[in-house]
Chains A and B, each alone.
Chain A
Amino acid sequence: MSDILLDCRGIDKSYGGPMVLTDVDFQVRRGEVHALVGENGAGKSTLVKIITGVTGRNAGTMVFDGKTIPEAHSKKAAQELGIAVIYQELSLIHGMTVAQNILLTREPLYRGTRIIDVRRMNRMAQEMIDRYGFKLRAADVIDHLSIGQRQTVEILKALSGNASLMIMDEPTSSLTSEESAQLFEIIRTLKQRGISVLYISHRMEEVYQLSDRVTVLRDGRRVAVLDREQISPAEIIRLMIGRTLTERESVNRMVRRDGEPVLEVEGLCSGDRLRDISFTVRRGEVLGLGGLVGSGRTEVVRAVYGIDRFDRGRVKFLGQPFVPSVAGAIARGFGFVPEERRLQGIMGDISITGNVAVPNLDAITSRAGFVSGSKELEHSRRAVAMLNIKPADPERAVGTLSGGNQQKVVVGKWLIRDLKLLIVDEPTVGIDVGAKEEIYTIIRALSDQGVAVIVVSSDLPELTRISDRILVLRQGRIVKEFAEGEVTEEDVLLASSGITTGIRAEVAP
């Protein structure tokens, strides 16, 4: 029996456009913890999707446990082979017990009948729980379990399906540090039992702690496979970013702007998501918020815009105290471009004109409540022209536009207002390169006009490029400010990961 559990060679993948994965070789050995790292867009999730059968590959071979995986791979086939993915809560049924969840569709029956032997089910589940040393009770309903405990149930569920490869994607992003430590113990236990774990994470300290080997992807290619001795967080980050100075398009120099403060946030606290956040954004400044997933960036902007409530803290707008509310924010000149374009940003069945009109009703409505059709159309035309939306037809349903043009509509409806502050959460996800550039130009133009802009982005080149100043969040706190001098993507990523740059790469807890 070969040492290699999963053997992928020459994997190519494209979604009909540019190559997402090019000639990727990837091997996972039996009983090893193998980390897969790379920037956003490097191809990690695509590779995982191919392994788990969610999507197909254009080229390449895959062999799992000695069996060749055909091109027509499927989720079901992957499950049957023994490949399991630990989603976060997505695959658990509320209202059911731990045992029921673990043994869903595999419940033990009384011989010859279709009746579930509940006692045996609980016993089997409890045996499994004890065998792995967890502190769960099989008969407990999962509704009251913490996220970490639920994750454990998911793992057990995968194990009961005889998984030999467990794939975990950012499993610690919603866990407390205690629960994370417990998870690491679990992973070590799994390893002892010969189960392989494929671990995807941005958190370098975890990768460093857990992995036997690390595969680094960059721009769809495999750039390195590191053995345990070779692993150091700083080294990994360097490999992830990889671009040399000559390859970068422009120098990312931070500029401290000194206009009047538009937004001042002091001591913002919200549960365990945000801790004592304080910052100021000035006129004409583009403030970038960086950090790993779950660090609190989106929570900050949602709190400031008035969508989510917070426990403590003060916000001032143009020097005046401001209790955040969406209506109040819009009236004062805020704009908000949400993270998920399709779910939160656009009304797909409605025309461009209709979408643009909604936050601007105050400007186009007469006192009696009537909307001026001509003003509405004028707004829409202006947005289309300013942002070069294609096709330039205001009556087109927004859902029929390309991703880039949809985003332009979402941005455009704010642009035609008297904006003082624009918040953009992930400006260019799923957008083609041309549209990306246009959006960067728009943001630049806005700041030139004196509008303050807050940009949340996980795309490091983008963040360092368009920001005048960058705040890095980590675990709900601001841990670093880049306000002067040159900033590289490594700098941001290191700060996000809690690694202080220096000669020795220190691993922060």
Chain B
Amino acid sequence: MSWDRKRLGRLASDLRLFWILILLMAVLSVVSKRFLTLENLTNVLWSVCLIGIMSSGAIYAPITGGIDLSVASIAALSGIIANALMNGLGLNWILSLALTLVAGVLIGLVNGIVTTRFKVPAFIVTMAAKTYLFGLAMYISSGSQITIMKPRPFLAIGVGRFLGVPIPIYIMLALTLASHVLLRYTAFGRRAIAVGANEVAAKLSGVNPDRVRNQVYVISAVTATVAGIVMASLTQQAFAMNAGGYELDVITAIVVGGTSLMGGKGSVAGALVGAVMVGFINNGLNLLNMPSSYHPLATGIVILVALIINEGAGLPTVLRRVVGVR
């Protein structure tokens, strides 16, 4: 292993994320006495879980130079679909979940095909999808909050624990690990990065960018579906408004974690840390008794800053540009 500057630099930037996280925790524990309590941290865990699950799949879209804004709507919709299958049609819960996942795959395929075959920019496609999927969710559920009381195995997903640790955590960790392996250690991951880095060069080297992109949007939709299932089980509720605004948190987590929105670079571990940070920020705002819709503000600031630092090559350059020196 060569310890040249580049390697050390990368290590430092990975660690830097951790330091910022620790710092954030310190600040928050000072700001509110309730922060470091077990009860509070457990609360944070839920939203971190959901954002983390969604990020593990959604990260591939920016890596290929696109974006998936429909993840939150997919999550809400899958909760409603799962419930409709299990309690509306009375199907076996395993079958229902399987079918829900299939629905997720199909939704992802639609996104992928419209963006590859018809060359529509990804953010338009996924933004429109966000809208019509939300409408679909509202339509199926008639806009109501449906409480899910059964089947028990399904509820166990969200509420159950294994070895004292809540199952959703396992799911999040498993998916994050799988995504990390997929990105770093498989041919698919290499291809996705190649497409984002230089699509023409990738094509000349035998990569099929359209196929890769289709797969990417399917992956994103599937993890969103899983998140939706977990959320429905956790909250015992199928509600179209669930997960509203989560796509912004997911993007923030991914960007803060070091993934470039221009493509070619990505860090799943970073996204996980980013998810934790976003969870903490939201939690902090809650603790300060700010209404929950303040978090777009914080998220907005965080995205802008993270973006400028990521794309603008470092804080000194950014500051220099702000002051007007080139």
Asked if A365 is at the interface of the complex by the 8 Å CB criterion, the answer is yes
| Set of chain B residues within 8 Å of A371, measured between Cβ atoms | 185-187, 189-190
Known: A358-B207, A370-B185. A344 touches B190 (CB 8 A): no
| Set of chain A residues within 8 Å of B39, measured between Cβ atoms | none
- The reply to whether B206 and A327 contact each other, CB–CB distance below 8 Å, is yes
Q: How far is the CA of A396 from the CA of B208 in the complex (A)?
A: 26
Q: How far is the CA of A326 from the CA of B206 in the complex (A)?
A: 6
Known: A349-B265, A395-B2, A396-B6. A326 touches B190 (CB 8 A): no
Question: Per DSSP, are chain B's interface residues mostly helix, strand or loop, or mixed?
Answer: helix
Asked if A136 is at the interface of the complex by the 8 Å CB criterion, the answer is no
Asked if B24 is at the interface of the complex by the 8 Å CB criterion, the answer is no
| Set of chain B residues within 8 Å of A365, measured between Cβ atoms | 186-187
Q: How far is the CB of B71 from chain A (nearest CB, A)?
A: 24
- The reply to whether A354 and B190 contact each other, CB–CB distance below 8 Å, is yes
**5 more CB-based (< 8 A) A-B contacts, given A344-B198, A358-B194, A393-B2:** A347-B202, A348-B198, A350-B264, A358-B206, A396-B6
Q: How far is the CB of B159 from chain A (nearest CB, A)?
A: 34
CB within 8 Å of B: which A340-363 residues: 343-350, 354, 357-359, 361
| Set of chain A residues within 8 Å of B194, measured between Cβ atoms | 347, 350, 354, 358
Asked if B320 is at the interface of the complex by the 8 Å CB criterion, the answer is no
| Set of chain A residues within 8 Å of B4, measured between Cβ atoms | 393, 395
Asked if B193 is at the interface of the complex by the 8 Å CB criterion, the answer is yes
Contact among A326, A327, A336, A348 for B197, CB-based, below 8 A:
A348
The winner among A327, A343, A349, A354 for most chain B CB atoms within 10 A is A349
Q: Show 29 A/B contacts (Cβ-Cβ < 8 Å), sorted by A.
A: A326-B204, A326-B206, A327-B206, A330-B206, A338-B201, A345-B201, A346-B198, A347-B197, A347-B198, A349-B264, A350-B264, A354-B193, A357-B190, A358-B191, A358-B194, A358-B207, A359-B205, A361-B187, A361-B206, A365-B186, A369-B188, A370-B185, A370-B187, A371-B186, A371-B189, A373-B185, A395-B2, A395-B4, A396-B6
Report, as a range, how many residues of chain A touch the other chain. Answer: 20 to 34
Contact among B2, B187, B204, B265 for A338, CB-based, below 8 A:
B204
| Set of chain B residues within 8 Å of A350, measured between Cβ atoms | 193-194, 197, 264
Asked if B34 is at the interface of the complex by the 8 Å CB criterion, the answer is no
Asked if A386 is at the interface of the complex by the 8 Å CB criterion, the answer is no
Q: How far is the CB of B179 from chain A (nearest CB, A)?
A: 14
Known: A338-B204, A347-B198, A347-B264. A358 touches B190 (CB 8 A): yes
Q: How far is the CA of A288 from the CA of B206 in the complex (A)?
A: 25
Contact among B2, B189, B191, B203 for A326, CB-based, below 8 A:
B203
Q: How far is the CA of A357 from the CA of B187 in the complex (A)?
A: 9
CB within 8 Å of B: which A299-352 residues: 307, 326-327, 330, 336, 338, 343-350
Encode A393-408 as 1/0 by CB contact (under 8 A) with B: 1011100000000000
Asked if B326 is at the interface of the complex by the 8 Å CB criterion, the answer is no
Question: Per DSSP, are chain A's interface residues mostly helix, strand or loop, or mixed?
Answer: mixed
Encode B190-230 as 1/0 by CB contact (under 8 A) with A: 11011001101111111110000000000000000000000
Asked if B33 is at the interface of the complex by the 8 Å CB criterion, the answer is no
Q: How far is the CA of A326 from the CA of B197 in the complex (A)?
A: 19
Q: How far is the CB of A395 from chain B (nearest CB, A)?
A: 6
Name A347's closest neighbour in chain B (CB-CB).
B197
Q: How far is the CA of A327 from the CA of B209 in the complex (A)?
A: 12
Q: How far is the CB of B266 from chain A (nearest CB, A)?
A: 11
Asked if A413 is at the interface of the complex by the 8 Å CB criterion, the answer is yes
- The reply to whether B6 and A395 contact each other, CB–CB distance below 8 Å, is yes
| Set of chain A residues within 8 Å of B265, measured between Cβ atoms | 349
Q: How far is the CA of A365 from the CA of B190 in the complex (A)?
A: 11
Asked if B7 is at the interface of the complex by the 8 Å CB criterion, the answer is yes
- The reply to whether A343 and B200 contact each other, CB–CB distance below 8 Å, is yes
> 10 closest Cβ contacts across the A-B interface?
A347-B197, A359-B205, A358-B205, A330-B206, A365-B187, A347-B198, A361-B187, A344-B200, A369-B186, A358-B194
| Set of chain A residues within 8 Å of B191, measured between Cβ atoms | 358, 361
Known: A347-B194, A347-B264, A350-B193. A307 touches B204 (CB 8 A): yes
Name B197's closest neighbour in chain A (CB-CB).
A347
Q: How far is the CA of A397 from the CA of B10 in the complex (A)?
A: 12
CB within 8 Å of B: which A363-393 residues: 365, 369-371, 373, 393
